[in-house]
Amino acid sequence: MKTDQRLVAAAASLLDTGGESAVTIRAVAQAVGMSHNAPYKHFENRSALLRAVAFQDFAALTNAFAEVRQLRVRPLEKLKQALTVFVSYAQEYPARYRLLYSDPSIAAQGGDLEAAMKPFAEVAAIVQECQNAGDLPDVPNVELTGLIYASVHGLIDLQMGGRMRQEKGLTDASKGVELLIKLLQPLRDSGG
């Protein structure tokens, strides 16, 4: 593994165990056995290192969604599996999830990082397959995908923040995703 990859892996590990505040250039250097200044040869600053972590994870999510899209199952099942990947990622890597989807400085970076923000496009392609199969409403794809994306993010945020309660009707992001998909499906004529 190249040095910059080792630094990104160490930063991701620190993010996982201690949150964003645990990711310092000094801590990352120590984790890979370098002098405290050595990471600056690979990353301009801490923000650049966190961007590299985000880039890596956006790419991993994109690949996971692309794999789901290639499955030989009904489109609606693909959508359910893709959204399950999303929820699972947030549960397994909460600090990374917040970095990717709640850190405005990451979203403002543009450039190469923007190219890594392809998860939305993969989910949009799956949503389009569902629309083509008649499993989701015939509305503009980008708007429907945006609604699904925002709803899932909201469910994840509620769960991560400990704000899901039985009395509110939501106890789990995965169950919320199932309900969302069910509600989005067009009503079928029952022949009666």
CA nearest 91: which of 166, 164, 25?
164
Q: How far is CA 39 from CA 7, 27, 55, 115, 169, in A?
A: 7, 10, 18, 24, 48
Give 108 or 24, the one with higher predicted confidence: 24
For residue 140, what are the contacts with CB-CB under 8 A and spacing of at least 6? none
Alpha carbon distance 133, 155 (integer Å): 26
Express each pLDDT in 81-138 by its tens digit.
999 999 999 999 999 999 988 877 776 665 565 655 689 999 999 999 999 999 999 9
Q: Is the pTM of this model over 0.75?
A: yes
- Domain borders along the chain are 1-43, 50-184
Provide the pLDDT for residue 101. 86
Architecture of domain 1-43: Orthogonal Bundle (1.10)
In the DSSP assignment, the letter for residue 172 is -
Architecture of domain 50-184: Orthogonal Bundle (1.10)
Give 72 or 111, the one with higher predicted confidence: 72
Backbone angles phi, psi at 157, to 5 degrees: -60, -45
Q: How far is CA 163 from CA 49, 54, 85, 176, in A?
A: 31, 26, 21, 13
**In 19-118, which ranges are continuous DSSP H helix?**
25-32, 46-69, 75-92, 94-102, 104-107, 111-116
